[in-house]
Amino acid sequence: MQKKEIFNVQNLTRLAMVAAMYAVLTVLTSELSYGGIQYRLSEILVLLCFYRKDYAPALILGCAIANLFSPLGLLDVVVGSIATAIAVVPMYYMRNIYLAALLPVVSNGIIVGIEVTVVFAEAPLWFNMLTVAFGELVVVGILGVLVFKLIFDKKPVMLRLIGSTRKTHRTVKEADTV
C-alpha cells in the first residue's frame, strides 16, 4: 500500500466512517459496553485490521471517542485506547482470523481488567481480567469471526468494499485458475 493510497479521499472517508461507527455503536449500547463485564459489540470492527492495517488508527480513535462517555472517565480514554492499539496494530500480520481475534481478548482482558480493578476494586483482579476477556471472546472471537467469515469468505466483493489488502485463500485459488 502506497502512502498516497492511504491519504486519498475514499480511504480517509472509509476510516472516518469506521471510527464513527465504533464510537456510536459503543455509546448506543453503553449498558453492555462499559464496566467489569463488557460485551462491546463495536469490538467486532477490530477484525477489519486483519484485512487492512490502516484501519488500526481509525479503531483506536473510535475507541478513544467512545471512552469519553465511559464511567471510568479519562482514564479509560487513555488505558482503553492503549489496550485497543496493542490488539489491532499487529492484527494484520496474523496468519488467520482466529489467531487475530485472540489479540483483543488477551489485550483487553489484561489491561482493562487491571483498570476496572483499580477504579472499582469490588472484585479481585483475576475475576475482572477473566470477565473482560470472556466478553471479548464472545464478541470478537465467536460473533465477530462468524460474521466476518460469512461476509468475506462468501462475498469477495465485500473484500473490495473494505479495501482489503490481504490475499485470502479464495483469492489465491481464483488467481491460480485464471
- Please give the chain's pLDDT, 178 residues, in tens: 555 666 788 888 889 999 999 999 999 999 999 877 889 999 999 999 999 999 999 999 999 999 999 998 899 999 999 999 999 999 999 999 999 999 999 999 999 999 999 988 789 999 999 999 999 999 999 999 999 999 887 778 888 888 777 765 444 444 334 3
Say which CATH number the domain at 148 has: 1.10.1760.20
Alpha helices in 68-168 (DSSP H): 74-88, 97-120, 125-136, 145-148, 154, 156-161
Domain extent at residue 53: 3-177
pTM of the model: 0.86
Domains contained in the chain, number: 1
